[in-house]
Amino acid sequence: MKVYRLGCLEGQMSMLIFHALAKMGHEALILVSPVHTIVSVGYFQDANKAVDLEYCRKNGISVMRREIGGGTTLLDRNQVFFQFIVRRDNPDFPRRISSLYELIAGPCVETYRQLGVSASFRPVNDVVTEEGRKVSGLGGADIGECVVFVGNIILDFDSREMANILKVPSEKFRDKVHKSLEDNVSSVLKETGTMPPRREVEDLLIRNFAQRLGALEEVNLERDVYEKACDLEKEMMSDDFLFRRRDLADGDEGYMKVKITSGAQVSERSYKAPGGLITVTHIVQGDIISDISISGDFTFYPKDRLSDIEETLVGVRRDISDIEEAISRVYRDLSIESPGVAPLDFAQAICKSH
């Protein structure tokens, strides 16, 4: 398998290269960082609700949506990102998403330990210290004919800037977010008091991935891959893509209900499942769902099948058992996986917004 050691790239290229390789059907391991700070929004998130777009605009921070689930992340040059791309038809790798998470978590955990940080994998998709502080968040999704998994080694973490880029209801709330990030997210510098050279971190990652993936060949980025990434930049940096998922009603995170008539209402609520936050906005006529939008920071595979669940729920009675049964059928028929998020979690999110 090829290894692209790309260093620090301008603009959004640190995220676009792996999208390009996946869409071209090429397997690879990428090690990369952005030159300047960027914000990455999860595939199923509502960018308007997740990110303080005005703050990002004023401070020259680019915001992009990735084709991978999970939450909003801050990317900068003090993090070394690893991006693993494998074809879905490759028989040498496990089929289940949870097994692939464990596979890529191994090199990350081992690298942290070699850097002096006692780390371990915590399902669904986190790498944490002995005290439970998060030092890497893993994400995965299907892109083209491939499955892509991403993670990072955090050399240093700007918790204040992370709090600044998030959409929050008040500055007091932002201060609490900052404190929580300080308490619960860590880095090599915070844990050991030292910043290892980037080259050392990359060497460790390559060595540890090779032990699990087999021989790795370090190569330069091909021109056709770069050109594909440039083409994707026009699409993925457009407002149409960034804001492509819009809920049926505007409102803050939490609960909101708007009565339209005596028999119709629009409701929105966020529900925390083990694998991430689910936000459901839906219209109910009587007790029948007539329209629904699901967003959040969970992982869902295949990612484009979330719309099948939304379509299936139209016409279903808002009853927890009816909804769970309908969603479970879609899961079985389409071989859907969503680590840490079950059909019952979606049903709870919908029914508890009543």
Q: Which CATH architecture has domain 255-351?
A: 2-Layer Sandwich (3.30)
pLDDT band for 246, please (50, 70, 90 cuts): very low
pLDDT of residue 26: 98
Per residue in 305-323, pLDDT tens?
999 999 999 999 999 999 9
CATH number of the 2-242 domain: 3.30.930.10
Q: Which residues pair with 280 in a beta bridge?
A: 269, 294
2-9 and 28-34: which strand pairing? Answer: parallel
* Stretch 144-165: mean pLDDT: 97
pLDDT band for 11, please (50, 70, 90 cuts): confident
119-122 and 79-87: which strand pairing? Answer: unpaired
* Stretch 320-332: mean pLDDT: 98
Contact 46, 18 (CB under 8 A): no
Q: What is the SS3 string spanning the chain?
A: CEEEEEEEECCCHHHHHHHHHHHCCCCEEEEEEECCCEEEECCCCCHHHHECHHHHHHCCCEEEECCCCCCCEEECCCEEEEEEEEECCCCCCCCCHHHHHHHHHHHHHHHHHHCCCCEEEECCCEEEECCCCEEEECEEEEECCEEEEEEEEECCCCHHHHHHHECCCCHHHHHHHHHHHHHHECCHHHHHCCCCCHHHHHHHHHHHHHHHHCCCEEECCCHHHHHHHHHHHHHHCCHHHHCCCCCCCCCCCCEEEEEEECCEEEEEEEEEECCEEEEEEEEEECCEEEEEEEEECCCCECHHHHHHHHHHHCCCECCHHHHHHHHHHHHHHHCCECCCCCHHHHHHHHHCCC
pLDDT surpasses 70 at 215: yes
pLDDT of residue 260: 37
pLDDT of residue 110: 98
Torsion angles phi and psi, residue 299, rounded to 5: -105, 135
Query: Percent of the chain scored above 70 by pLDDT?
Result: 94
Higher pLDDT among residues 216 and 247, named by residue:
216
* Stretch 130-140: mean pLDDT: 95
Per residue in 80-91, pLDDT tens?
999 999 999 999
Please name the residue that has the structure tokens 């990652």.
205
Contact 19, 236 (CB under 8 A): yes
The Cα 354–Cα 349 span in angstroms is: 10
Q: Which residues pair with 154 in a beta bridge?
A: 79
* Stretch 140-149: mean pLDDT: 95
Contact 35, 59 (CB under 8 A): no
Per residue in 54-89, pLDDT tens?
999 999 999 999 999 999 999 999 999 999 999 999
pLDDT surpasses 50 at 251: no
pLDDT of residue 258: 43
Domain ranges of the chain: 2-242, 255-351
The CA distances from residue 211 to 1, 103, 104, 117, 207, in Å, are 12, 11, 11, 20, 7
pLDDT of residue 239: 94
* Stretch 120-135: mean pLDDT: 95
pLDDT surpasses 60 at 253: no
pLDDT band for 256, please (50, 70, 90 cuts): very low
pLDDT surpasses 70 at 257: no
- Find all residues with CB under 8 Å of 333, minimum gap 6, and list them: none
